[in-house]
């Protein structure tokens, strides 16, 4: 899983001048909580992972990675749409994405809006579905 993160994030981190092959893996391992993590399986093959951390005031999508070969096939959109149905209706979803990452468009299509940003990260929020 740490290796998948390193592969997926490398182009964006290199573009930002922040790629460190050890740090990119270690940051994942330091924050990894197995209970929050699900493996994404398509046609019997592991193609990614997603982790959601439940906080008092938000549901944080912490890790959401698909293998490069699986990207652009609608898999991420399907997973994200499903995750958004798992809201308790009271807490927003939050996440952060690297500046200029193509993933930001996916999140915006699913209702995420800019909350704040810095030189490296864009912090986004989606309100819980009513109902």
CATH number at residue 93: 3.40.630.30
Q: Are strands 113-117 and 59-66 parallel, antiparallel or unpaired?
A: unpaired
Q: Which residue range(s) make up the domain with 99?
A: 36-126
Q: What pLDDT does 54 receive?
A: 94
Q: What pLDDT does 94 receive?
A: 97
* Residue 55 falls inside a structural domain: yes
* Residue 61 falls inside a structural domain: yes
| pLDDT tens track for 51-66 | 999 999 999 999 999 9
Q: What pLDDT does 87 receive?
A: 83
Q: What stretches in the chain show pLDDT beneath 70?
A: 130-131
* Residue 11 falls inside a structural domain: no
Which residues does 104 contact at the CB level (< 8 Å), separation at least 6?
97, 122, 124
Q: What pLDDT does 123 receive?
A: 98
Q: What is the pTM of this model?
A: 0.89
Number of domains into which the chain is organized: 1
* Residue 114 falls inside a structural domain: yes
* Residue 69 falls inside a structural domain: yes
Q: What pLDDT does 128 receive?
A: 80
Q: What pLDDT does 130 receive?
A: 59
* Residue 30 falls inside a structural domain: no
* Residue 65 falls inside a structural domain: yes
* Residue 26 falls inside a structural domain: no
């Amino acid at each position: 899983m740490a290796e998948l993160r390193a592969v997926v994030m490398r182009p964006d981190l290199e573009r930002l001048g922040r790629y460190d092959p050890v740090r990119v893996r270690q940051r994942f391992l330091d924050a990894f909580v197995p209970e929050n993590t699900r493996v994404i399986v398509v046609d019997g093959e592991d193609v990614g992972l997603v982790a959601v951390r439940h906080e008092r005031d938000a549901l944080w999508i912490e890790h959401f990675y698909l293998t490069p070969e699986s990207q652009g096939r609608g898999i991420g959109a399907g997973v994200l749409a499903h995750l958004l149905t798992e809201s308790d209706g009271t807490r927003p979803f939050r996440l952060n994405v690297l500046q200029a990452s193509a993933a930001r468009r996916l999140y915006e299509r699913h209702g995420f809006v800019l909350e704040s940003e810095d030189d490296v990260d864009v912090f986004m929020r989606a309100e819980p579905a009513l109902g």
